[in-house]
């Protein structure tokens, strides 16, 4: 990944254009001619970048899903703990009422 890939010469005025890979269309700062990044090499870089973005995005999504699942599971656990405690208290109260 040399400097060549980040800056190319304008086909119109031969000025050096620094490529902004976040935009497919770049503009020459000297003659304002529109430049579409379309050489196969640059395209490959863009695809790589896109792929990396996708992979990172998917990993992030999976992480969020797992986090949500863990949260759900802990809520489920909490529900059962409360349920058991409440039924235990009711059992004790029932026993007390019967004793009275
Ligand atoms: Zn130009």
| Euclidean distance between CA atoms 21 and 53, whole angstroms | 13
Distance 74 CA to ligand 1 centre (A): 61
pLDDT in tens, 22-81: 777 888 899 998 877 666 556 666 677 777 888 888 888 999 999 999 999 999 999 999
Which residue, 23, 21, 27, is CA-closest to 48?
Answer: 21
Centre of ligand 1 to C-alpha 15, Å, is 5
Q: How far apart are the CA of 13 and the centre of ligand 1, in A?
A: 4
pTM (whole model) above 0.75 = no
- Taking the centre of ligand 1 as the mean of its atom positions, its distance from the CA of residue 31, in whole angstroms, is 4
Find the 16 Cα to ligand 1 centroid distance in Å. 8
| Contact indicator for 80, 56 with CB cutoff of 8 Å | no
């Amino acid at each position: 990944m040399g400097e060549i890939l980040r800056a190319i010469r304008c086909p119109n005025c031969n000025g050096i254009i620094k490529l902004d890979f976040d935009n497919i269309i770049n503009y020459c700062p000297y003659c304002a001619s529109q430049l579409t990044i379309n050489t196969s090499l640059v395209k490959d870089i863009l695809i790589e970048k896109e792929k990396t973005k996708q992979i990172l995005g998917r990993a992030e999504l999976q992480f969020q899903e797992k986090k949500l699942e863990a949260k759900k599971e802990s809520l489920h656990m909490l529900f059962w703990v409360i349920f058991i405690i409440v039924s235990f208290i009711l059992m004790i109260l029932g026993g007390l009422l019967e004793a009275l």
